[in-house]
Amino acid sequence: MGLIYEERYLLGTSLARPCISVALMEVARQYDAKYLAHGATGKGNDQVRFELSAYALKPDLKIIAPWRDEEFCRRFQGRQDLIVYAQANGIEVSAKPSTPWSTDANILHISYESGVLENPNTVAPSSLYEMTVDPLVDAPREPVRVVIHFEHGLPTRVEDPVSKCVYRTPLEMLKFLNDVGGSYGIGRIDIVENRYVGLKSRGVYETPGGTILYTAHQDLEVFALDREVLRTKQVLRDRMSDYVYNGFWFSPEAIYAQRCIALAEQRVCGQVTMELAPGYCRAIARRASEADGALYNEQLVSMDVHGGYVPQDAGGFIAINAVRIREHVRAFGPYEMAKQSK
């Protein structure tokens, strides 16, 4: 679907929550569980995501959320208190006082927040990153290329022209792109985002393979889709991104948006050649699948032949579009050109 929240975040944590919730509900049904307990903070999005998913899949479930319990909150102010408690009681946790940020990792990404990151003007420590190298220090200087194939908007295989290896399963593709993308420091972002509960929060994210796939998919969409379908799809993408971020994967509006986007993606078939360089990736070539046709008409768009296009028609096209502009000038006067100050 090409989902991206607030133009930057590829939703690695948000997408994981409905996946985890499905597994939780399967176990709840297996053992006839009546309660779901979770450790999500009372200030965050995850409490909403887990609980809305649970209610959609098992409506009679009851929730135990310690971070919303008054007695618990009186005893523990935050993560530092929990770290001290864990140490005192021999409970092994990954968080340490020297690295007090919170980490959430899965096959798509790693997110970091809280602790020293809560000051948005503090630069994240270089020791924080786990999936990617520093693109300015440790990444190779010479770029590499990969070819990604899509069918109906979904990546179906990734080719490594250097090793001649071809990766076909979702796991193989993502692991390969994570490895090669991480070696170039691709997919790091450091942002402040708007949480659903009304707070602004700072998060640092690593999504190397996902960033490469997103960039390739976006390029193929522009290449393959009708202009107005693309614009409509982008509106639905932004709405669906909000639904996923806010915890509404299992909702009528999300199901509707998914089906509409899937209809548009039927035309997104082809391949994209990606160039990976220190800190970024970009599409450098693309082509449509031969069996699916293409809206890109090389002869029609060529500057060397007319190819069936009638240049004289452009004059009337411009004149009709100018009617509105001229009417605005007639009613309110001509537009003023801003003068540059010396």
Task: Report residue 193 as tokens.
Answer: 């985002």
The phi-psi region of residue 90 (left if phi > 0; otherwise alpha if psi is between -120 and 50; otherwise beta) is left
What pLDDT sits at residue 337? Answer: 86
Strands 110-113 and 200-206: antiparallel
Q: In angstroms, rounded to a whole number, what is the distance separating the alpha carbons of residues 13 and 189?
A: 14
Task: Report residue 159 as tokens.
Answer: 């080719």
What pLDDT sits at residue 249? Answer: 98
Do 131 and 10 contact (CB within 8 A), yes or no?
no
What pLDDT sits at residue 84? Answer: 92
Least Cα distance to 143 among 194, 177, 184, 187 occurs for: 184
Domain ranges of the chain: 102-225+267-296, 299-332
Reported pTM:
0.94
Q: In angstroms, rounded to a whole number, what is the distance separating the alpha carbons of residues 40 and 23?
A: 17
pLDDT tens by residue, 107-136: 999 999 998 999 999 999 999 999 999 999
Report the mean per-residue pLDDT for the chain.
95
Residue type, position 20, single letter: I
State what percent of residues in the chain have pLDDT above 90.
87
Contacts 24+ apart (CB under 8 A), 233-240: 233/260, 233/261, 233/264, 236/260, 236/261, 237/1, 237/2, 237/3, 237/4, 237/261, 240/1, 240/3
CATH architecture of the domain formed by 102-225+267-296:
Alpha-Beta Complex (3.90)
What pLDDT sits at residue 342? Answer: 62
Q: Which residues of the chain have pLDDT under 50?
A: none
What pLDDT sits at residue 163? Answer: 95
